[in-house]
Amino acid sequence: MNILEYETLLASIITLVSTLGGLWLRTYLQKKNVNQGLHPNKKAQKKMEAIGKINQEVYNFLSHTRKELNADRSYIFEFSNGSYFSSGLPISKFTCTYETVGEGITSESHNPGEYRVSNFNEYIKILIDGENFILEDIRSCEKTLLKELLIKKGVSSLYNFPIKDIHGRVIGFLGLDFVKTPQKLTSIQIKNCNAAADKLSGYLNADDIC
């Protein structure tokens, strides 16, 4: 066997050993993950199931809150570009991520469902500051773009309550629309809505850690 043939054979052996070693290592890691309950496919499936369960609980909670207050719509808007609190940049959009409606009421979650904060800066700033935004009668609204939007949606009264993460930073808001007639909630009802927003925070944060 000449030197060229020897080198070719040696290269083939090294390639074969490397390939077999790689296959063995991958098989070993997969078995190890399965034994530890960390198989990628099963882990992803388990997470999807957990998220699906959380989503259903959020919808059930929104529906219950809406019915308790005889509201026509209940929904959640979340700030969708990665909160400025973590990125250092201003929030640019807020997006409707959950909505339930009463019988005969149109859904507005995708109409369009996403808005630029810059167009509603004063309105959103109130919520970002952790305060409730309440319009017992939208005819008294002095914010032109917001008023036009609410009229388009057929809203008579609007109630928004900030939702905070586990660090106390506002990540979105719970909303209630009264369409058929204006509605004035009592101080106790408003307090209960703030408590509802706190509970929704637990659901939304659970989505990050499940």
Using alpha carbons, select from 148, 127, 134 the residue that is nearest to residue 177: 134
Q: Residues 2, 56: one domain? A: no
- The number of C-alpha atoms within 13 Å of 138 and in the hemisphere containing its C-beta is 22
CATH number at residue 155: 3.30.450.40
Given a cut of 60, whether residue 173 has pLDDT beyond it is: yes
Average pLDDT, the chain: 81
What's the pLDDT band for 8 if we cut at 50, 70, 90? low
Residue 198 neighbours by CB under 8 Å, 6+ apart: 163, 164
Higher pLDDT, 114 or 101: 101
| pLDDT tens, position by position, 12-63 | 555 554 555 455 556 655 565 555 555 667 777 777 877 788 889 999 999 9
The boundaries of the domain holding residue 193 are: 45-209
The better pLDDT of the pair 157, 54 is held by: 157
* pLDDT tens readout for residues 70-105: 999 999 999 876 544 334 455 788 989 999 999 999
Judge if 68 and 106 occupy the same domain.
yes
Looking at the fold, whether 4 and 107 belong to one and the same domain comes out as: no
> Cα separation of 154 and 177, whole Å?
9
Split into its structural domains, the chain has a count of 2
Q: Identify whether residues 15 and 90 lie together within a single domain.
A: no
* Position 135 pLDDT exceeds 50: yes
Q: Cα dihedral angle (18, 19, 25, 27), rounded to 10 degrees?
A: -170
